[in-house]
Structure 1
Amino acid sequence: MAKAGVEWSPQPSYTSTDKGDGTYSVPLLGSDVPDVSVERVPAAENGEGRDVYYMISTTMHLSPGAPIMKSYDLVNWEIVTYVFDRASIGDSFSLRNGQTSYGQGQWASSLRYHDGMFYVVFNTNNLGGAYVYRTDDIENGAWERTALGRGLHDPSLFFDLDGTPYIFYGSGGTSAVRLNADLAAIEQDYANIFRASDYAGKPFIGGLFEGAQFYHIDGYYYAVVITWPPGQGRQVVMLRSKELLGRYTSAGGVNTYEARGVLNSSGFAQGSLVPISREGGGTGWYGMFFRDTFPIGRIPALIPATWQDGWPTFGDNGVVKVDDVFDKPIKLGPEREAFEREKSIVASDDFVNDAPHKAYMDEKWTIPRPPDDDETLIGVELLDNPGFEATAIAPWGARYGATLSRDTVDPASGAAALKVSDRTLNGSGPNQALTGKMQHGVTYTVSAKIKYVSGPDIIRFNLAADWGAGVQVMASGNVPVGQWTTVSGQYTVPATANLDAFTFTVETPRANPQPPSSSVEYLIDDVSIVGQPVTAEYPAEEEIGSNGSRLDVVWQWNHAPDNRYWSLTDRDGWLRLTNGKVVTGKYVYTKLSNRAELAWFEEARNMLSQRTFGPRQSVETKMDISGMKNGDVASLAAYNRGFSYVAVKRAGGVNTLGVVNRVQPFAVDLDQATLESFLPGTTVPLGRATKVHVKADLDFASPAGQLWTTFYYSLDGRTWTQLGDRVGPQTLDGSLAHFMGHRVGLFNYATHEKGGHVDFDHYLLSDTLTAQNLPLDTSDLDAAIAYARTLDKRDYPKEAWSAMRAALTKAKKARTGKFGTQNQIDAPERALSYQLARLGTFKVPTPPPAVPAAR
């Protein structure tokens, strides 16, 4: 843009691939936006005079969750709100009492607009199954939630031509449920409308076969499905039928869905079809499919399609390469185009408490009353005959065909042990009912001595609970052949446990097919379950209710936050993170069968994070560490299950800065203190310093598929020192323990005592790394400031002008100082350029001078 000789042409945002010439490249965004569902609201129904698009994505254990993104051109997106603040106030979504939702929580949402109402359906793997949310105002309205009471994998909401609502779901095949008219309950099931096995021999159909999204186009019902044939990459298959329910309504009950592979290129797969209005009233259809691009994550791409005989061909004759360039499907005016390019799903932040209020911030929950504990059941042995000294085996019983007998030849102690023989399944073993003995929220120390003399060199044994909701591992451990070994651990009984059907068992981990451990004969002795004095955390009103601080929508917490222990108001212009509890080292990945332990870092519930973006990203923050207590660890991380962070650790009253790096392979049992010890050559004693600047430079391109991070520090923000060599590599975690791309987080956790706090002054982004050895460049900042000075406030609405002036004031203040990093330049420039581009969409003509009336 140019005005009065001033050139101002800002760069597109960090998550825009808009070239500024009517084209864009794929994938879009350069950030983790998986499981996308896109919905159009036609111009005639939205009051904005143009078609508006909304997109939803998976954010699993993060809070707030189910982000709603908005776009006018399908290329540039920004987050406008979230469906929920918390998916649950229970322990697992709140990282409370040993429970976690890592890699679980909210999955694969479906977003639909119907008869003036917006609907979102998503499944939860550990929070009670599928939910329907609805609102009549997607950007500013509150969402009403309805639980469907069962799991529906990868659900897709579809309204038939007569308005009947269905949810399609499944993996390996697609089933459906019909909902009642108000979408509050399931009325009818339709299992296996079509299955992958129905298309045996088709080379484009294989594993996964899930994520189906349904559409009605020109007389056909279409399903878009991700599949992964053997020896090939992930790809898109489409199925179509004249009958929505296929074999349920067809003559003879035959499958009516025909299938065709429509995209097998570069791994672009699961996602949506997207309608685009054409001149003359027609509709074109594109694809929005994501691609695995770890460690950044799963990144979507808008891919054009050519339709022939009712089937699409995506890209260039079915080929779509990374970084391919396509014409934008929707043309906007030049001012609007310029503003769209500045929109982003990541942002710098000065932590001023000025983010717009959003409806999800007012979410209401009923806080349950803490249970009344029976103290007579605390500190005492709850198992009967735990050492098998009684002549009878009772009350122990056998599961799944196992035979139980007393063994007096080789007990671990006393006169006898219990022999478990005739096993054919991993679940075969001894059990004991504990009805009326176990209590919600109580933590139990669980242990058993175990021995086997024939079989694999090492077998993992589980001490498990079962109350009808599947086996829950209370403790587990590896037992070597030929020696008595104690397996022990602690387990907190969740509020969801059915105490009237609670049984305890000793078994080997379940698997299919059955491994050799399933038939091993073993002995157990000195089994014990003892309740510990109650230290359980319970939901509290202050934990969940608003604390008066409002974060920008680009931020999400690692699990639902405890609002008592973070603030933007305790200190103006700073984010305060306070330690509300001490890490335990006893949390595990509840989604993993091996119950692998969490690092201390992963117990940091109030860790505030944003998506990463590629191929290069730099993040800078400033910390005030004067409020830290001994044992506190705080700072800046690039993280997933594997993580790299720079941190201040306070020990013995001394603050030390250093770097931690955790890479694969991931151990099951951890020494957390050793795991998170500083790397040699990275430590710096901070002496009397109370403030420290740190910077993380993330490189996703050297090489691709790996993240290497270089950390720097400064005591004045001007002179910077590198902390050791770059660290990594961070790569895709095959266990999918977090199942998301790496994120950048600000964190604080306590290892000794609670109450310590750290203040963060800002979060500054750039796409320039120190290692590029580029001179600091203020040209874009100078151009934006100069351009702003040419504008006339009479041309713009008051609110928009005020927002620009606020950004201009901060930019000018930054420019008067000395810069130490490109981050310190880019953050104020990007904020100002956004507001300047926004002003361009509002400009109103200056009224002509008044003409004096004739006399």
Structure 2
Amino acid sequence: MKIHLTGMRRSSYWVLVLFLFIKPIYGQQMDHKAKNPIIFADVPDLSMLRVGDTYYMSSTTMHMNPGLPLMKSKDLVNWEMIGYGHNTLADMDELNLDQNQNTYGRGSWASSLRYHQGTYYVSTFAQTTGKTYIYSTQDIEKGPWDRKEFKPALHDHSLFFEGDKIYMIWGGGKINIVELLPDLSGIKPETQRVLIENATLPTTPEGAKGGLQAEGSQLFKVNEKYYLFNISWPPGGMRSVIVHRADKIDGPYEGRVVLQDKGVAQGGLIDMPNGAWYAYLFQDYGAVGRIPYLVPVTWKEDWPVLGVDGKVPEILDLPASKGLIPYIVNSDDFDRKAGEPALPLIWQWNHNPVAALWSVSENKGNLRLKTGRIDQHFLQARNTLTQRTFGPTCEGETAIDISAMKDGDFAGLSLLQQNYGLLGVRMEGGQHVLVNSNVKTGIEEELAHIPLHQQKVYLKVKCDFTNKRDIATFFYSLNGKNWESIGTEFKMTYTIPHFMGYRFGLFNYATKTVGGFVDFDYFHIRP
């Protein structure tokens, strides 16, 4: 068959041919580019630095231990866990989940990561203890770490080295600066002063009620000028990035709004060896938590210009992500070889763990969680082992041997937040019962109650964070092959009291008699 085309029809035909030829190539090119968010998981309060061709990042995990996670990357997109700043902040009731106390939503907050004269520094603060902490090492991946702590807790501070002086800049609304002692053990007396009286003014008129005052300070020096990054949330508006600029560290500072788009805000600047600049920021994204973004930066008249035409781009001129598995989250068969750590870095305990009540060696190839006291509800139970959920969809699966449970014990798979979801086995009068329950309004509600007549059961939960759908569905299996849904769809809700994205958790606690235990055969995580 011949096709005869003339005039406009011929032109349209070749445009169509060209489009059909180019589209697959263009699509392939886009598939090889990074996309925002660069990490679709809860990695908030970012602080980044570059040493040579390697990037390092610290973040917030508050009530989790070990805490203050540290990561590295070669391309700003693919990040790998390399360690933690601390194993614990303190031995106290709130951090140990003792005496019905806890520190959900508190613990250690926004950190500041620096490199100065061959030494790495990461500092944080904790409302729980009322202290500021500074950890330092010459080897950020292997340590050892030196620890200094002092009062008070300097909120959302930025550690900054200038010649032979060491500063911290911190505050909310009113931004302060103070000098530290040379050994980092405390504040130099009478050095505190106000740096910016009202850092919120670029987004919010004086006297306006509501919103979030400027906080999240991060200070940078570029071409002999000082740039202070803050976030604010004006009443009726969105999370915004504010930058103040000065010729001297003491000011005076002039400020402007540099980004208002999609609520992507709070962070700072990072440069690449090729001269490119980015801002690292994050976005509140419902139940999965606060997720990191990269925004390209150009410079105009010595001001950083964020975004593309003021917008956060979806596609970045950086290598594509290889996925979060195995470097940020990962499956675990609990089968340890000689010399390997008991737990990989992807795991964190909810609050301080009790070392005597868990093991990966007592029954090799299994995580054993033992009960050591009576607890009446999940959020007060010790030794819940967690790792992040991630988007847009993910699932976690485990198998649990329940043969050594005691009456009143409850063990299984959880989604941890204030409004939590549980699928586990409860021992009731000598009978194992499969239970699905969740919390929506502060009270745990039982949705399913199925008698079990075997010693091992398989549990799974699927999470859907697509477009903030925030729905989880639980499943169980008696053989690991055939799965049945249980209960109803669970609506996950991000709450400020916990201030953290949902986490997978493996748990076991006693409500009547201590001394029982369960063995988790594996935990498998997948998109």
Alpha carbons 2:30, 2:315 under 8 Å: kept? no
- Counterpart of 1:172 in structure 2 is 173
Please show how residues 434-473 of structure 1 align to structure 2 within 5 Å: none
Deviation at 1:341, TM superposition (A): 7.9
Deviations 1:207-238 (A, max 9, x none): 33001100111121100100111221001010
Q: Which amino acid aligns with 2:262?
A: S
1:729 aligns with 2:494: no
Alpha carbons 2:204, 2:234 under 8 Å: kept? no
- Counterpart of 2:187 in structure 1 is 186
- Counterpart of 2:225 in structure 1 is 220
- Counterpart of 1:645 in structure 2 is 422
Q: 1:574 aligns with which of 349, 362, 366?
A: 366
Deviation at 1:708, TM superposition (A): 1.7
- Counterpart of 1:107 in structure 2 is 109
Deviation at 1:195, TM superposition (A): 2.8
Helix, strand or coil at the partner of 1:655: strand
> Higher strand proportion, which one?
2
Pick which of 708-717 and 66-75 moved more: 708-717
Distance 1:167 1:603 in 2: 35
Q: 1:118 aligns with which of 109, 117, 120?
A: 120
Deviation at 1:725, TM superposition (A): 3.0
Q: Which runs of 5+ in 2 are unaligned?
A: 1-27
- Counterpart of 1:718 in structure 2 is 481
Deviations 1:766-796 (A, max 9, x none): 22xxxxxxxxxxxxxxxxxxxxxxxxxxxxx
* Runs of 4+ in structure 1 over 6 Å off: 203-206, 337-342
- Counterpart of 1:557 in structure 2 is 349
Distance 2:86 2:356 in 1: 19
Deviation at 1:340, TM superposition (A): 8.6
1:352 aligns with 2:129: no
Distance 1:738 1:338 in 2: 29
Q: Which amino acid aligns with 1:212?
A: S
- Counterpart of 2:461 in structure 1 is 696
Q: Which runs of 5+ in 1 are unaligned?
A: 1-17, 43-50, 247-255, 332-336, 358-548, 586-599, 667-674, 768-855
1:229 aligns with 2:224: no
Helix, strand or coil at the partner of 2:109: strand
Distance 2:509 2:226 in 1: 52
Q: Which amino acid aligns with 2:385?
A: L
Alpha carbons 1:19, 1:25 under 8 Å: kept? no
1:762 aligns with 2:522: yes
Helix, strand or coil at the partner of 1:174: strand
Q: Which amino acid aligns with 1:25?
A: K
Deviation at 1:344, TM superposition (A): 2.9
Alpha carbons 1:235, 1:264 under 8 Å: kept? yes
Please show how residues 125-204 of structure 1 align to structure 2 within 5 Å: 125-160=127-162, 162-187=163-188, 188-196=190-198, 199=201
Residues 92 and 23 of structure 1, relative CA distance in 2, 3 Å threshold = same
Q: Which amino acid aligns with 1:755?
A: G
Q: 2:446 aligns with which of 667, 673, 678?
A: 678
Alpha carbons 1:34, 1:290 under 8 Å: kept? yes
Please show how residues 350-499 of structure 1 align to structure 2 within 5 Å: 350-354=333-337
Distance 2:335 2:177 in 1: 47
Q: Which amino acid aligns with 1:156?
A: S
Distance 1:197 1:157 in 2: 18
Distance 2:415 2:120 in 1: 35
- Counterpart of 1:74 in structure 2 is 76
- Counterpart of 1:38 in structure 2 is 48
Distance 2:212 2:130 in 1: 26
Pick which of 141-150 and 625-634 moved more: 141-150
Deviation at 1:301, TM superposition (A): 0.6
> Higher helix proportion, which one?
1
Alpha carbons 1:356, 1:552 under 8 Å: kept? no
Residues 731 and 638 of structure 1, relative CA distance in 2, 3 Å threshold = same
Deviation at 1:197, TM superposition (A): 6.4
Alpha carbons 2:78, 2:321 under 8 Å: kept? no
Q: 2:317 aligns with which of 320, 324, 327?
A: 327
Distance 2:137 2:328 in 1: 23
Alpha carbons 1:351, 1:568 under 8 Å: kept? yes
- Counterpart of 1:746 in structure 2 is 506
Distance 1:109 1:676 in 2: 34
**Larger RCO (alpha carbons 8 Å, 6+ apart):** 2
Aligned Cα root-mean-square deviation (Å): 2.2
Residues 304 and 186 of structure 1, relative CA distance in 2, 3 Å threshold = same
- Counterpart of 2:19 in structure 1 is none
Deviation at 1:128, TM superposition (A): 3.3
- Counterpart of 1:655 in structure 2 is 432
Q: Which amino acid aligns with 1:576?
A: R
Distance 2:337 2:309 in 1: 49
Pick which of 89-98 and 745-754 moved more: 89-98
Deviations 1:736-762 (A, max 9, x none): 211111111000111001111110000
- Counterpart of 1:308 in structure 2 is 300
- Counterpart of 1:671 in structure 2 is none
Q: Which amino acid aligns with 1:159?
A: F
Distance 1:356 1:301 in 2: 36
1:618 aligns with 2:395: yes
Alpha carbons 2:396, 2:524 under 8 Å: kept? yes
- Counterpart of 2:407 in structure 1 is 630
Distance 2:321 2:384 in 1: 34
Deviation at 1:686, TM superposition (A): 0.4
Q: Please say which structure displays the higher CA radius of gyration.
A: 1
Q: 1:290 aligns with which of 264, 267, 282?
A: 282
Helix, strand or coil at the partner of 2:356: helix
Residues 560 and 342 of structure 1, relative CA distance in 2, 3 Å threshold = closer
Identity of aligned residues (%): 41
Distance 2:343 2:475 in 1: 26
Distance 2:514 2:488 in 1: 33
Deviations 1:62-105 (A, max 9, x none): 00000110100000101111111111122221112232111111
1:259 aligns with 2:258: no
Distance 1:649 1:159 in 2: 55
Pick which of 568-577 and 297-306 moved more: 297-306
Alpha carbons 1:355, 1:552 under 8 Å: kept? no
Residues 343 and 720 of structure 1, relative CA distance in 2, 3 Å threshold = closer
Helix, strand or coil at the partner of 2:287: coil
Alpha carbons 1:76, 1:343 under 8 Å: kept? no
Alpha carbons 1:356, 1:550 under 8 Å: kept? no
Distance 2:191 2:342 in 1: 43
Deviation at 1:203, TM superposition (A): 6.5
1:275 aligns with 2:271: yes
Deviation at 1:706, TM superposition (A): 4.3
Q: Which amino acid aligns with 1:120?
A: V
Deviations 1:243-286 (A, max 9, x none): 1012xxxxxxxxx10111111000011112112122xxxx4321
Helix, strand or coil at the partner of 1:753: coil
Alpha carbons 1:355, 1:551 under 8 Å: kept? no
Alpha carbons 2:417, 2:494 under 8 Å: kept? no
- Counterpart of 1:427 in structure 2 is none
Deviation at 1:179, TM superposition (A): 1.1
Deviation at 1:732, TM superposition (A): 2.3
Residues 676 and 651 of structure 1, relative CA distance in 2, 3 Å threshold = farther
Deviation at 1:199, TM superposition (A): 3.4
